[in-house]
Structure 1
Amino acid sequence: MMRVVSKTHVGLVRENNEDTLLVREPYLFAVADGMGGYAAGEIASRSTIKAFEAATYSLRHEQEEQNVIKVLQEAFAKANAHVYKMAVSNDKYKGMGTTMTALYLPGNGEAYCCHIGDSRLYLYRNGQLRQVTRDHTFVADLQEQGKITREEAFVHPQRHILLQAMGVDEEIQSDCLHFSVEPSDRLLLCSDGLSDMLRDREIADIIGTEDLQQAADKLLEQSLDNGGRDNVSLILIDLTAQGEEGCNG
């Protein structure tokens, strides 16, 4: 059985934690990073995760790739509509929104990811770290066009400008991906409070050299040591641990 460790921290600058995690072992995970001013961001991420989870009840009955992706996309659309309605109907929630990156693991060697914003899913395999999701940001577009490097993107002053988020517009276009996983893989879902503080090589070094609990602790600790300018949230999944119970910390 896989092992899972999840962690969230307010960081060193923010007064409240606007991140929300979904850990429904062993198959559904998500991270949402809210925005929109004091308390509203927290409500946006929590409400989005709750609405998304409620809309995924039929996932376990689906086997075909196109049907799984359809359920995930529809769940994203329903969650978006729910939060958008909250934002437009209440002045104190005006302008609120959230990122969301979700991972579904049906347990058959396949994985599905649905995603909006700049929270991320990483895959660690055979010593190599790969960012599975593509950030919906102005800077990611510049990088894709070859105008800046990944290192320049990491320090770019406009790196937090989102091009898409949940709850901001009536209609969304989520990215849904399907890929295979191997028994030796590790998967990392995180908010940008982690990925803004740690370069890929730092993440890879930590994930690759520690046991799961130590790796999760170290990812959080290093994010704080490097500045902790935002809330830091992560879900770290190890597919290698057979017969061990999952744990959350």
Structure 2
Amino acid sequence: MFVISKTHVGMVRTVNEDALLTTGPELFALADGMGGYAAGDTASKEALQVLQQEAEKFKPLTGAALCAAMRSAVQQANAHIRRMAQTEEKYHDMGTTLVAVYLAADGKAYAANVGDSRLYTWREGVLQQITRDHSYVAELLASGEITAQEAFKHPQKNIILRAVGAEDELEVDCFTIELTEATKLLLCSDGLSDMVADSQISAILQEHQTAAAAEALLEAALDNGGRDNVSLILIDLTPAEEDKRS
């Protein structure tokens, strides 16, 4: 397995509110914070810290039990961020997206998602978005009111409908993914997916080896405007003599 991560403040923002969890070897996660200069990056980092602490409970689990544990961990992060926001004025209204993937003992990947950060799979030349965006534009797309092309360029793409820390009660999506040795997993913030169309992401993954692909994805987001922080984790499940991380 080869894992590489990239994060960049972008071409417009002055603070990077994205946070990455790449310690592995089973758990990888990405969070995109919101709430102002101090609060956004705090929310994303705190959410991933809680998730990492709770992940010790994941190891013996698979199937529905693992999904339940991952949902519970994200809900614990939600409660933690809510408490911080209520205790300190500077953290008022802070929140974060969160997408996490856990490589379980049954050979499957399990993903938890809140917000519009994404998990994709790429295999045999096909890119597939696994997670569902919890956003206003995603709702318009699902209802058929706009096309995928209109969604990519929509001026209200930044309105999300679900975030860690936004409400006392949090619904968390969980997905199970069958894996093959040829599978690549891509976690990314909307700083990538809003700047680089799925077709371009797929083409980059097709044209480059994993490390070069990660660099090319970041460069594409910046070249296309870099209007937000850009973060990604690319996991290549191809067997290797030893685990390599960057």
Q: State the 1:208 CA deviation.
A: 1.4
Q: TM-score, normalised by structure 2?
A: 0.98
1:66-215 equivalent positions in 2, closer than 5 A: 66-215=64-213
Q: Which residue of 2 aligns with 1:61?
A: 60
Given that 1:27 and 1:107 are in contact with CA atoms closer than 8 Å, whether structure 2 keeps it comes out as no
TM-superposed CA distance for 1:67, in Å, is 1.1
Change (3 A) 1:118 1:86: same
Match of 1:41 in 2: 40
1:235 CA drift (Å)? 0.2
4+ residue segments displaced more than 2 Å? none
* Letter of the structure 2 residue corresponding to residue 118 of structure 1: D
Letter in 1 for 2:18: D
Q: Distance in 1 between matches of 2:208 and 2:106?
A: 26
| Cα displacement string for residues 143-163 of structure 1 (whole angstroms, at most 9, x for unaligned residues) | 001111111000011111010
RMSD over aligned CA atoms reads: 1.0
Name the SS of the counterpart of 1:124 in structure 2.
strand
Which residue of 1 is the match for residue 10 of structure 2? Answer: 11
Question: Within 1, Cα distance between the matches of 2:113 and 2:23?
Answer: 17
Contact 1:97 1:166 in 2 (8 A): yes
Deviation at 1:101, TM superposition (A): 0.2
Query: Superposition pairs for residues 231-242 of structure 1, below 5 Å?
Result: 231-242=229-240
Give 1:107 shift: 4.8
Amino acid at match of 1:126: E
Instruction: Quote the offset at 1:89 in angstroms.
Output: 1.7
User: TM-score, normalization: structure 1?
Assistant: 0.97
- Asked if 1 retains the 8 angstrom alpha-carbon contact of 2:78 and 2:164, the reply is yes
Kindly provide the CA deviation profile for residues 217-245 of structure 1, in whole angstroms up to 9, marking residues without a partner as x. 10001110110111100000101142243
Q: What are the ranges of 5 or more consecutive residues in structure 2 without an aligned counterpart?
A: none
Deviations 1:99-142 (A, max 9, x none): 00000012543110000000000010110101100000011011
Paired with 2:196 and 2:36, the residues of 1 have a C-alpha distance of 25
- Specify the alignment match of 2:51 in structure 1: 52
Match of residue 31 from structure 1: 30
- Corresponding letter in the other structure for 1:4: V
One-letter code aligned to 2:38: A
What amino acid is aligned across from residue 141 of structure 1 in structure 2? E
Single out whichever of 220-229 and 105-114 deviates more from structure 2: 105-114
Amino acid at match of 1:153: A
Secondary structure of residue in 1 paired with 2:244: coil
| Structure 1 residues not aligned, in runs of 5+ | none
Percent of counterpart pairs with the same letter? 49
